[in-house]
Structure 1
């Protein structure tokens, strides 16, 4: 349905809004067209006041007229005027669009903050890990070369005590002693309790 606005807002030829709604409820397309021509400008104006965006206002106005077509049978003339019913629908639909838009913006903002926080946390974690690795390497240098070699093979190389013993061609007990003594010195040097 394409929007077009009639210049005369209340130019009803022979029918009132209430009569037109009753005919629309019966599926009368000519009555719907006449109703549309009569009230579209007012509906659009109200929606535009709420949304402040012409393209969204046109879209919402079209949705309102689809609602009028499908819900015309629900109109009760005893409860109020047709124009009031139409404008109430328009206002509700426009407010719903504002709320949906705000919810979408809030959701996007939350996701953006979450992604920023995750990336910030990743960077912070990487920096912290790099700084800790540097501290450990500086502390390792203070150990004897035998202790350094045994610890590097066991902790950085991933070798078992038995494998370190075989690589260094020394007894397993000696490997364990070098690693234990080196770790004690590292703990003291790094201030770890």
Structure 2
């Protein structure tokens, strides 16, 4: 359902699309504090909130056409983006913390057989990834080896977010099918 847009939001969008820097400054001065506040509320981290606020406005500057004043007011749209980025930050932080904890914990002494099996499994996984079509392989490597979110994968590959999600999901499915066909089971 399309809403009647606020005239100021329509004017600001037009200025942003035209590349008018004073318009960006006006948007930042008007909405910067609420975007920062939303990011701070979600993350609880001042530094992360500052980074997220900056990312939101940089993204608005780079792709102003993504904002549609007929669908939502600019304030609400910016706050939604800030909230989503904050949630992404929390997820990445949790993953990074789990990886750090796993690295700090001394592993139990492994049996030679365990090392051989693990090495074989790694080779099979690498081969399954190498066998993927290039677009799927790129998405998998960015997400699972560089730790990017699907949004960051989409941005890096310059593709829509839905396409990035599909490539990741489809790539993982193909890897799983190949590993099962080779007799590797994972629980």
Quote how far apart the aligned CAs of 1:81 are. 1.2
Residue of structure 1 in register with 2:178 after alignment: none
Deviations 1:65-118, CA, capped at 9 Å, x for gaps: 1111112111112211111111111111111111111111111112223xx124
Report if aligned partners of 2:39, 2:86 keep a CA contact under 8 Å in 1. Answer: yes
Residue of structure 1 in register with 2:91 after alignment: 99
Equivalent residues in 2 for 1:164-175, closer than 5 Å: none
Deviations 1:39-81, CA, capped at 9 Å, x for gaps: 0000001000011111121111111111111121111122111
**TM-score when scaled to structure 1?**
0.50
Answer with 1 or 2: which has the greater Rg.
1
CA RMSD, 1 decimal: 1.6
Q: Match of 1:117, SS?
A: coil
1:117 counterpart = 2:107 = yes
Equivalent residues in 2 for 1:8-157, closer than 5 Å: 16-113=8-105, 116-118=106-108, 121=109
Structure 1 unaligned runs (5+)? Answer: 1-14, 123-193
Report if aligned partners of 1:47, 1:61 keep a CA contact under 8 Å in 2. Answer: yes
Structure 2 unaligned runs (5+)? Answer: 1-6, 111-187
Deviations 1:24-53, CA, capped at 9 Å, x for gaps: 122110100001000000000100001111
Deviations 1:146-184, CA, capped at 9 Å, x for gaps: xxxxxxxxxxxxxxxxxxxxxxxxxxxxxxxxxxxxxxx
In 2, the alpha carbon distance for the partners of 1:28 and 1:46 equals: 26
Report if aligned partners of 1:17, 1:35 keep a CA contact under 8 Å in 2. Answer: no
